Amino acid sequence: MKKFLIVGNWKMNLNVHEASILVKRLDDHIKINRNVEVVLAPNFLVLQPIVREIDKRKFKLAAQNAYFVDEGAYTGEVSFSMLRNLVDYCLIGHSERRIYFNESLEMIRDKVAAAVRNNIKPILCVGETSQEKQDNETKRVLHDQVTTALANLTKEEVNQVVIAYEPVWAISTFGGSKPAKPSDIKLAIDWIRQILSELYGYSVSKDQTVIYGASVEAEFVSDILSLEGVDGLLPGAASLNYKQFSQIIDATTKVKI
Ligand code: PGA
């Protein structure tokens, strides 16, 4: 049976105390399941205390960002080498980082390489804005984002990257109210796999973990995860609510593939 990856992106929410309460509630409501890997992505401050609180058989941790240089005069930054052994994953290139913090394609490429160098799996977020969608630019945008982000990896390293298709226009904080249509998700994810196949060959493309994020809620889980080539989900808002997040996990365990 297929193993799905579900990543809760908490964004800039929850202080240490609130995060600890959420983890306890999630622990009560989520069972260990061999077919679902559950990853929580809290803010930096929460990562260190939470690593001691989580049941590691149930939850893994992701950072939401990090800097590509290992140490030095970069006031305010946290490096991937500092996150080594603390997290398994790190979100890279989330649209909020690209849009609010002007992260360029090249910076994202360097972050992806730094994560892999430090034994942290990048969760590379890619996706078009509503303007780019209107202009029929989705394929070009995904092509540019995927090819540059992976450019400094070897073929063997590419499979350590999780690619998350997150259409910006469907993300709740950018005004999205429901996920992209399954047919649109399928088109985008097939395209991502085609790009990978052309660059690195069919077997890399087939083995790549590709997930979907944007306005994910439990009611949509089965339709999205039943699509061929979709390996998991990246809920944001719904991951802050223990009922909603555990319902998403529950719905995932019921998907038959
Ligand atoms: P959302 O966020 O589920 O609240 O739309 C997803 C994301 O931004 O990763």
Domain boundaries, the chain: 4-253
CB count in 10 Å sphere of residue 58: 18
What is the Å distance from ligand 1's center to 117 Cα?
27
d(CA 222, CA 220): 6
Residue 216 CB–ligand 1 contact under 6 Å: yes
Provide the pLDDT for residue 14.
98
d(CA 131, CA 199): 28
Catalytic one of 96, 103, 128, 166: 166
Alpha helices in the chain (DSSP H): 16-29, 44-53, 80-83, 95-100, 105-117, 130-134, 138-150, 155-158, 182-200, 202-207, 218-225, 242-253
Return the residue whose CA atom lies nearest to atom 1 of ligand 1.
236
Residue 62 CB–ligand 1 contact under 6 Å: no
CA dihedral angle for residue 115, residue 90, residue 6, residue 50, rounded to 10 degrees: 130
Q: What is the DSSP letter of 180?
A: P
Asked if 2 and 231 touch (Cβ cutoff 8 Å), the reply is: yes
pLDDT by position in tens, the chain (length 257): 789 999 999 999 999 999 999 999 999 999 999 999 999 999 999 999 999 999 999 999 999 999 999 999 999 999 999 999 999 999 999 999 999 999 999 999 999 999 999 999 999 999 999 999 999 999 999 999 999 999 999 999 999 999 999 999 999 989 888 999 999 999 999 999 999 999 999 999 999 999 999 999 999 999 999 999 999 999 999 999 999 999 999 999 999 87
Residue 213 CB–ligand 1 contact under 6 Å: yes
Q: Say if residue 4 is exposed, middle or buried (CB neighbours under 10 Å; 0-12, 13-18, 19+).
A: buried
Structure tokens at 166: 């997150």
Pocket of ligand 1, candidates 99, 215, 245, 247: which has the most ligand atoms within 8 Å of its Cβ, to mutate?
Answer: 215
What is the Å distance from ligand 1's center to 234 Cα?
7
What is the Å distance from ligand 1's center to 150 Cα?
23
CA dihedral angle for residue 184, residue 187, residue 193, residue 195, rounded to 10 degrees: -110
Provide the greatest CA pair distance for the chain: 50
Architecture per CATH, 4-253: Alpha-Beta Barrel (3.20)
Residue 217 CB–ligand 1 contact under 6 Å: no
Asked if 164 and 214 touch (Cβ cutoff 8 Å), the reply is: no
Asked if 155 and 204 touch (Cβ cutoff 8 Å), the reply is: yes
94 is catalytic: yes
96 is catalytic: no
CA dihedral angle for residue 36, residue 80, residue 125, residue 200, rounded to 10 degrees: -90
Provide the pLDDT for residue 246.
98
